[in-house]
Amino acid sequence: MKRNHLWHWIVLCLFLVALFLFWTYFYASDDLRHEQERSLEYDTVWSATNGRHEFYRYSSSISRYLQSGKQEDLEDALLRFEIFLGRMDTWRTGNFKTFLMNSPQLHPVYQGLAADLADIKPYMQSLSSPQPDAMHAILDNMSAKIEVIAGQSYQSSIQQFHEDRLTFQAKLMTEKRIGMGLLILAAILLAVVMRQNRVLTHANNTIAGDARQLSFLARHDALTTLPNRTLLTDYMDKAAKHLTSDEILLAVALDLDGFKAINDTLGHAGGDALLVALSARLTDFVTALPGKNLAARVGGDEFVLVVRAPKDEIDVEETIRALASKFTTQLDTAIGSMLVGASIGCAVATSREETGYVILNADVALMEAKEAGRGTAMHFAESMRTRLERRLQIERQLPDALQNGMIQPHYQPQVNIATGEPVGMEALARWSHSDIGPLSPAEFIPIAEASGDVIELGRIMLRSACRDIQLLPDHIHVSVNLSMIQLMNDDVVKLVGATLRETGLSPDRLKLEVTESVFMQNVDLVSGVLARLQDLGVSISLDDFGTGYSALNYLNKFKWNELKIDRSFVTACDTSPKALSVVKVIKSLADKMDAELLIEGLETRKQVDTFRDLGCLYGQGFFYSKPKPIAELQQFFREAEPFRNTVVQN
């Protein structure tokens, strides 16, 4: 027994020794460096997968910002870009760099990706003024390259895994000869490998699901799930290829009226709820129409509807009326019922060639509708395009006109009505366009305000007025208009002070005018800026007083030096006793406020006599002089004495 036991122990010891030798041969003798490299190969897959994830998150945030233009989306896009840059840094180091350098196919792809990344950085630095087409082009190039690198990394990992499994199977056959112990060990190792394979499969499925989601988001609005501009473009491309001669393509552009007020009162959650409910209504509307139709959200509160239908099955006029009626009933939203109006522009394409610009035509019609007033629907007409092209030409050439001195101040005298003696003048911008001819300030100044060029225009007018007034007698003052954009600019007070010092003009000879509408846009802000300007010694005048606003409630917010009665009152006083009564009230109010009263738009002697009899002291208008360059105005002042005597005698 002892000998048998001894034999058993010997066999067991031999087995253990054999097991130890085989374990040492198969595992312990493996090159540690080789094992580390294999583990880093999995790190390569991890880096590639995460790099692809971060790119699609970054691409999605860019698309979301380009659609909404919101500040929070801008900040998210910049953050995602920084994260993506960090992930790209890991691709340039360690085992992933070796992986790229050792692949003749991937190395040039990565170099191209690095070039694309350098190309897109300037666009990210100026993302507040985006260039969507250029950015999408670069992002598409980057997406293709990242997919190649990530896919190759994954395939390399799969190939390595396959080779490892073959080696493992060979070892497994050998290990079977030494007993059940190695089989158990092999089974454990196999289970670990299978689990790793399931993890990789799950990761691959997750990536595929994310790719499908990103693909959907790239072509649909994230909030409303309506098609976005990308899908709309695809739809229009197909229409351009397949529109038949018996079909029409109706494009409708609509913009919500008062949507900002809803956001301000109910918050963005309220605005989002409204957009979701409206999107469902618009989808139902186009679905009920004949043909292949689409409703897309292309901006914050901007939508485009496209209807492609047989000509004999759709009435454009009736369709637009039906659409407009959808905005006369309340929307049931997640936070309650809401009512919102819309401005509508539409255009029709009857041929494939016209489909290329039918949406642009609808947008042009929408612009005209918005200018006409809320709730307006307009059909496109070629005259609209002409007006738009004229506006774009003015907007495009306005900076050069300012830089080259093509916009010059003309001055209209302000006169003592009782004596005819000039007391001041108002600086008015005039532009004689080389192609269009003389442009009315009512046409180019709103364009300057919209483009921001009004700030430079204001500087030119202020500097010229302060310089030119010194060519006239010392008792003459000059009035210069200020826009809301100038008042919102932080340096307007510094600008006025610096201009006075530069030109040497006494502050009491400068009068700055703001319209009643500008003052009432932000009473507290404007009052504060005007008070600081008044501290410089200049006078402040309230222009167009009483035109369409209840400014009487706001007069006590600021100590005005002058009130200017608008020309509409002058015209009304010719036929309306009530208008005369209003002027008397305004004059009495100005007297109590210790403010001067100036009458604008005096064109006839009857009007002059009327306001002189009312006790008004100052006026300006074509009766005295049209706006003139300073050189011609000097002649007017030289002739003022005989003109004054004529007025007094009459």
DSSP string, 518-584: HHHHSHHHHHHHHHHHHHTT-EEEEEEETSSS-GGGGGGGS--SEEEE-HHHHHHHTT-HHHHHHHH
pLDDT of residue 495: 92
Contacts 24+ apart (CB under 8 A), 315-324: 316/248, 316/250, 316/346, 316/348, 316/379, 319/250, 319/289, 320/252, 320/344, 320/346, 320/377, 320/379, 322/285, 323/252, 323/254, 323/285, 323/377, 324/375, 324/377
Nearest to 223 by CA among 288, 310, 301, 293: 301
User: Can you tell me the distance from the alpha carbon of 480 to that of 503, in angstroms, rounded to the nearest whole number?
Assistant: 15
Question: Cα 294 to the chain's mean position, in Å?
Answer: 24
Q: Dihedrals φ, ψ of 297, to 5°?
A: -105, 120
Please give the helix or strand (H or E) that residue 139 lies within, else none: helix 132-175
pLDDT of residue 381: 87
Name the residue with tokens 């002070």: 497
Residue 99 pLDDT greater than 50, yes or no? yes
Q: For the beta carbon of residue 120, count every other beta carbon within 10 angstroms.
A: 20
Counted residue by residue, the chain has a size of 650
Angle made by CA atoms 106, 107, 112, in degrees to the nearest 5:
95
Residue 502 pLDDT greater than 60, yes or no? yes
pLDDT confidence tier of residue 113, bands split at 50, 70 and 90: confident
Residue 287 pLDDT greater than 80, yes or no? yes
pLDDT confidence tier of residue 636, bands split at 50, 70 and 90: confident
Residue 605 pLDDT greater than 90, yes or no? yes
pLDDT confidence tier of residue 256, bands split at 50, 70 and 90: very high
The stretch 158-174 carries a mean pLDDT of 74
pLDDT of residue 547: 65
CA distances from residue 232 to 61, 130, 371, 594 in whole angstroms, order as listed: 20, 20, 26, 62
DSSP state of 196: H
Residue 128 pLDDT greater than 80, yes or no? no
Question: Cα 351 to the chain's mean position, in Å?
Answer: 33
pLDDT of residue 3: 52
pLDDT of residue 217: 81
The stretch 49-62 carries a mean pLDDT of 83
pLDDT of residue 538: 95
Q: What is the dihedral of CA 70, 74, 80, 81, to 10 degrees?
A: 150
pLDDT of residue 265: 82
Residue 643 pLDDT greater than 50, yes or no? no
User: Can you tell me the distance from the alpha carbon of 276 to that of 303, in angstroms, rounded to the nearest whole number?
Assistant: 12
Residue 27 pLDDT greater than 60, yes or no? no
- Does this model's pTM top 0.75? My answer is no
pLDDT of residue 300: 87
Most confident of 142-146, 337-341, 460-464, 582-586: 460-464
331 three-class SS: strand
